[in-house]
Amino acid sequence: MSEIDVVILAAGKGSRMKDNFPKPLHEVAGLPILEWVCRAVRKIEPHKIIAVQSASEDFASYVDETVVQAQQLGSADALQAAFSKVDAEKILVINGDMPLVTGDVLADLVAKGEGFDAAVLTTSLKHPFGYGRIIPVGQRNVVEQIVEEKDATDDQRQIQLINSGIYLFRTEYIKRTISQVTANNAQKEFYLTDALPGARIVQADDWRDLLGVNDQKQLADANQVARKRINEQLMANGVSMIDPQSTYIDANVVVGAGTVIKPGTVIERDSVIGADNEIGPYAHLRENTVTGTDVHIGNFVETKNAEIGAHTHIGHLTYVGDARIGESVNIGAGTIFVNYDGKNKHITKVGDHAFIGSNTKLIAPVDIAREAITAAGSTITADVAEHAMGIARQRQTNKPEFWDRLPHEDFAQTYREKKRQENQAPDES
């Protein structure tokens, strides 16, 4: 097969996002949209990947080469900016706002576009608003014209066949044709779609693969689809989820078989969760949380940069940051790993079988040895040796006959009665 250069169009202003943040760097399931696009295009083993960027962004770390489009004059102008870097026989062009695209759908375009000057990926959408519509030549799989939403007549807006923004071109053909594109349209832009008449139409099987992100709603939709795919993949590999809809797992996360994930759980970035864990409900496992087998992390526990050994329990209301925790450790409710001094992060180590009493503060850097104990309610600032117990709290004193010195409120009046009074008697003063 002939060699293909990929051009990712990513210089647009993203103005419909209304948020002053580069659209290609918005995250979907923990990865920038641009990274999703790059992962998909790498599957067709391109000769090289070129990103077209604006003068204010630099996407060099994602791709092989970048080129700046000086002014945002439209998608045809953007592709033209990349021509100086293209030397393969074919070009696959893709909008840089398509996080759900897969290698399979791109490979299909490459296969079915073979022998044509141009080919375009398409699908039918029930709600095609915003997309360019493809008008075919009669009943054939050939483009007569692509009309943008803003240029379309009411009749054309009824068309459900949309332009995905993914094209395959013979390089020689598109270099020759693109110079004929004019900006004679509603947006006064050079539309790449005006170079598409005559192109082969290639239908995608799953319309979701072709969803573009132009506004915040579409970003949320893309996240939902990506997360559903991630969860289904994990379940296929033996992970149990009580409620997949309320389980938020990033693309790079690994979860071992037999692990049960309970509702409201978030697992982020490059976390690696072992087999047979029980996670959640309402656990927040942030970047680089690594657990052994049979770990239990319960409700309202947040972890970050934490290694947690096999059979360890962290049941409730706890923050674990920059921690190296051994095997079969018990971390009591309300424990805080105090890792941050305002400038630097410090590490806390907890050895195998250690017992951390409830409401312990572990002020890092600090080492709790194996089979060591901290007494509940302690603020631990010094290392605790093997088999020792660290206790660091005030002794209790009781003040007798204190009751009458405390002001009391009458709780007999119900909340509803109070509300009724508030809402019926406006303040006249």
Candidates 34-42, 102-110, 159-167, 290-298; binding stretch for ligand UD1 (CB under 6 A) = 159-167
Structure tokens at 403: 């009751």
Query: Interface with ligand UD1 includes 99 (CB under 6 A)?
Result: no
Nearer Cβ to ligand UD1 (201/333) = 201
Listed in order, strand segments (DSSP E) in 351-394 are: 355-356, 361-363, 366-368, 373-374, 379-380, 389-390
Nearer Cβ to Ca ion (97/367) = 97
Candidates 34-42, 45-53, 78-86, 92-100; binding stretch for Ca ion (CB under 5 A) = 92-100
CA angle, residues 248, 251, 256, in degrees to nearest 5: 80
Cβ neighbours around 332 below 10 Å, total: 20
Give exposure, 384-403, as e/b (b: 16+ Cβ within 10 Å): beeeeebebeeeeeeeeeee
Determine whether 142 is exposed, middle or buried from the number of CB atoms within 10 Å of its CB (0-12, 13-18, 19+).
middle
Candidates 85-93, 116-124, 206-214, 247-255; binding stretch for Ca ion (CB under 5 A) = 206-214
Candidates 162-170, 225-233, 244-252, 295-303; binding stretch for ligand UD1 (CB under 6 A) = 162-170
Calpha distance 100→369 (Å, rounded): 47
26 is catalytic: no
How would you classify the pairing of strands 361-363 and 336-338?
Answer: parallel
Backbone angles phi, psi at 262, to 5 degrees: -95, 165
| Residue 81 CB, nearest approach to ligand UD1 (Å) | 8
Calpha distance 241→369 (Å, rounded): 35
Structure tokens at 353: 């079988």
Query: Interface with ligand UD1 includes 30 (CB under 6 A)?
Result: no
Of positions 4, 17, 44, 95, contacts ligand UD1 by CB under 6 A: 95
Query: Interface with ligand UD1 includes 390 (CB under 6 A)?
Result: no
How would you classify the pairing of strands 90-95 and 161-170?
Answer: antiparallel
Residue of 26, 316, 346, 408 marked catalytic: 316
Structure tokens at 126: 């029930």
Query: Interface with ligand UD1 includes 148 (CB under 6 A)?
Result: yes
Query: Interface with ligand UD1 includes 191 (CB under 6 A)?
Result: yes
Nearer Cβ to ligand UD1 (124/344) = 124
Nearer Cβ to Ca ion (69/335) = 69
Of positions 30, 46, 165, 274, contacts ligand UD1 by CB under 6 A: 165
Q: Which does 10 bind (CB under 5 to 8 A by kind): Ca ion, ligand UD1, none?
A: ligand UD1
Contacts with Ca ion by CB under 5 A lie at 97, 212, 214
- Interface contacts to ligand UD1, rule CB under 6 A: 9-12, 52, 69, 72-75, 77-78, 95-97, 131-132, 146, 148, 162-165, 191-193, 212, 214
